Structure 1
Amino acid sequence: MTFANAGTLGSAPGQRDALVAHLTQRSDVLQELGCLAYEVGVNDEQPDTVFVVELWTSSEAHQASLQRPEVQSSIAAARPLLSGEFGGFSFDVVGSPLRD
């Protein structure tokens, strides 16, 4: 069952664009780990917030990805760009009008 994770990442003041650049670096590893989509966005009404929507083959694939050295390294590199404010939710996808 497809797993969705949608969240917000607070960026340190003036670091939103650097955080977006980091999060959007090409990563073939994510696809190998079961990531189906990883979309990063911004909203000018919330200038210190980055929005991320992820789709994974399963919740287990998402959790397992967090243990990989490549992912751990990426998280460590992003930490200085973050304010520590996080939000979001996750769920198991049960259907879509775009596919059978």
Structure 2
Amino acid sequence: MSKFGLFGKFTVKEGERDTFEKILLKAAESLQNIEACELYLVNRSDEDENAVFVYEVWSNQDAHQASLALDSTQEMIQRARPIITGMERIATFQSCAGKGV
């Protein structure tokens, strides 16, 4: 059975990447007990010191959408919004199989 995946790029204000990563890692921690979230990886860019990539795999697209309404997610969004200068949805995809999925 395929899973819903999302790969996104966030760009933040100069010097705020560490702060933003901490916010995302707190968000990842809040997802630990959400079974529908199968993978949530926070990645820093080697090429752009203000870019952070998030790679997510969910049991389905509805589960991902529902996660956006969680109090913990909303709190993370409110904390992060002032330092985000750009967001880009690089890809959505159907994960078929592989290690970690």
Please give the range of the TM-score, normalised by the shorter of the 2 chains. 0.7 to 0.9
Over the matched positions of the two proteins, sequence identity in percent amounts to 30
TM-score normalised to structure 2 length? 0.83
Residue ranges of structure 2 left out of the alignment (5+ in a row): none
Q: How far apart in 2 are the matches of 1:49 and 1:37?
A: 20
Q: Which residue of 2 aligns with 1:2?
A: 3
Shift of 1:78: 0.9
* RMSD over equivalenced CA pairs, Å: 2.0
Q: Is the 8 A contact 1:8 1:50 kept in 2?
A: yes
Q: Secondary structure at the match of 2:19?
A: helix
Shift of 1:98: 4.2
Letter in 1 for 2:90: G
Q: How far apart in 2 are the matches of 1:28 and 1:85?
A: 21
Q: Is the 8 A contact 2:8 2:87 kept in 1?
A: no
Change (3 A) 1:3 1:18: same
Number of aligned residues: 98
Change (3 A) 1:85 1:66: closer
